[in-house]
Amino acid sequence: MSYVDEVIAQVIEKNPAQPEFHQAVKEVLESLRVVIEADEEKYRKDALLERIVTPERQLLFRVPWVDDKGQVHVNNAFRVQFNSAIGPYKGGLRLHPSVNLGIIKFLGFEQIFKNSLTGLPIGGGKGGSDFDPKGKSDREVMAFCQSFMTELCKYIGADTDVPAGDIGTGAREIGFMYGQYKRIRGLYEGVLTGKGLSYGGSLARTEATGYGLLYLTEEMLKCNGHDIKGKTVCVSGAGNVAIYAIQKAQQLGAKPVTCSDSTGWIYDPEGIDVALLKEVKEVKRARLTEYAAKRSSAEYHEGRGVWTIKCDVALPCATQNELTLDDAKALVANGCIAVAEGANMPTTMEATEYLQANKVLFAPGKAANAGGVATSALEMSQNSERLSWTFEEVDSKLKNIMVNIFHNLDDAAKKYGMEGNYVAGANIAGFLKVADAMQAQGIV
């Protein structure tokens, strides 16, 4: 059996009931086959792949908190410190009832390669809890965040592990967590990113993932002879990534016509009204039915369905495995020319293969959504030098980073004989830097 197949089989055996983690590992290792097979004995002897698929450290802890009626609740919480070869662990915290160890491991594993692709010195990590912030009062969210940080603060720090936001963790949650960290550790340091602007946050971090997604998509289209201007875009999700992807798409002259949340979706042929969407989602924390109620051009549909709308460019920005083979078939049948992942692993493996086989340009999440973590690393730099950069400065660095990422994957795909396969390009380019650092640092 080849070394790659051996390690995939081991991961499945040693990590039972973690299908998302298996999926993420398979996708990466399949792409690396050509690299590994060129020097298989060396990689095998060093157990490089076994080391890269095994987290350096996994923290599991309980989070007790009290609701507004005095009832005590207990949630499961996780921080997986996956790989620190090229920098301190870096990655978000997901708060969603679906969170379990396998989900956090898939996200942490992806984060290693994503962070490497940014070109910045950040290792891979991820955390979160099965706590659901939806429908909770601000005080309940604060109670959870303080209890969560009371335990987590023992294991993180500005130079060791720097968490940030993800699904369910936005500015409010980061603020509560930062306050508790500072109170217990007595350190005013850049231990979290995505902080508010009044206490060490970076301008453009809120916008960064969505904006970065569009900068990379624009470059990918340009290099393949297309212009983003005038394109119809379907977006899924209605959270941080989706909102700022929609905003930047409009700024670049494209027309985003959909968005979705966990209960339904909007088709707005006139183009999404970003101010209204922000009001509904960021301020009121309400359902998309409220968007439809205030906008006569919008249709609201229950359930899923964004990918049935005819578009040139599809941007999945909600969650993992939300774009299936049937969705991919509908997109291709409707003439879609590009898919770029704003979310982490939103496209199933079969859907990705179908899109690529049908010549749809496909930018994988670990490249396309890397603008968020890249800007988090810029926030860390600003915290270290105790200065704040202007919006324009951060945004122009972000744009440069995204354009460079695209060319790195494009070049890596070409170098290894897989021109146009940006999935392989991203995995290979991300891996080579981490593998080089791991080999240089010996058996640790």
Q: Which residues bind ligand NDP (CB under 6 A)?
A: 165-168, 209, 237-242, 261-263, 317-319, 342-344, 369, 372
Alpha-carbon distance of 212 to 248, in angstroms, equals 9
Pick from 116, 232, 247, 376 the residue near ligand 2IT by CB under 6 A.
Answer: 376
Pick what 193 binds: ligand NDP, ligand 2IT, none; C-beta below 5 to 8 Å, kind-dependent: ligand 2IT
Pick what 343 binds: ligand NDP, ligand 2IT, none; C-beta below 5 to 8 Å, kind-dependent: ligand NDP
Whether 133 and 95 have beta carbons less than 8 Å apart is answered as: yes
Pick from 140, 166, 268, 322 the residue near ligand 2IT by CB under 6 A.
Answer: 166
Pick what 319 binds: ligand 2IT, ligand NDP, none; C-beta below 5 to 8 Å, kind-dependent: ligand NDP
Q: Specify whether 126 is catalytic.
A: yes
Alpha-carbon distance of 179 to 48, in angstroms, equals 39
Please report, as a single letter, which amino acid is at residue 287: R
* Residue nearest ligand 2IT, CB atom distance: 92
Whether 206 and 241 have beta carbons less than 8 Å apart is answered as: no
Whether 343 and 317 have beta carbons less than 8 Å apart is answered as: yes
Alpha-carbon distance of 6 to 411, in angstroms, equals 28
Please count the other Cβ atoms lying within 10 Å of the Cβ belonging to residue 385: 9
Compute the least distance from the CB of residue 376 to ligand 2IT, in Å: 3
Reference 160, options 269, 313, 57, 278; nearest CA is 57
Rounded to the nearest 10 degrees, how much is the dihedral formed by the CA atoms of 407, 410, 415, 420? -170
Pick what 224 binds: ligand NDP, ligand 2IT, none; C-beta below 5 to 8 Å, kind-dependent: none
Residue environment code for 261-280, b if the CB has 16+ CB neighbours within 10 A, otherwise e = beebbbbbeebbbbeebbeb
Alpha-carbon distance of 394 to 391, in angstroms, equals 5
Q: Does 430 bind ligand 2IT (CB under 6 A)?
A: no
Comparing CB distances to ligand 2IT, the nearer of 55 and 264 is: 55
Pick the piece of the chain touching ligand 2IT (CB under 6 A) from 228-236, 260-268, 271-279, 368-376: 368-376
User: Which residue in 114, 126, 195, 255 is the catalytic one?
Assistant: 126
* Residue nearest ligand NDP, CB atom distance: 239
Alpha-carbon distance of 417 to 120, in angstroms, equals 27
Comparing CB distances to ligand NDP, the nearer of 107 and 428 is: 107
Alpha-carbon distance of 352 to 421, in angstroms, equals 11
Pick what 364 binds: ligand 2IT, ligand NDP, none; C-beta below 5 to 8 Å, kind-dependent: none
Q: Does 344 bind ligand 2IT (CB under 6 A)?
A: yes
Residues classed as catalytic: 126
Residue ranges binding ligand 2IT (CB under 6 A): 90-92, 114, 164, 166, 193, 344, 372-373, 376
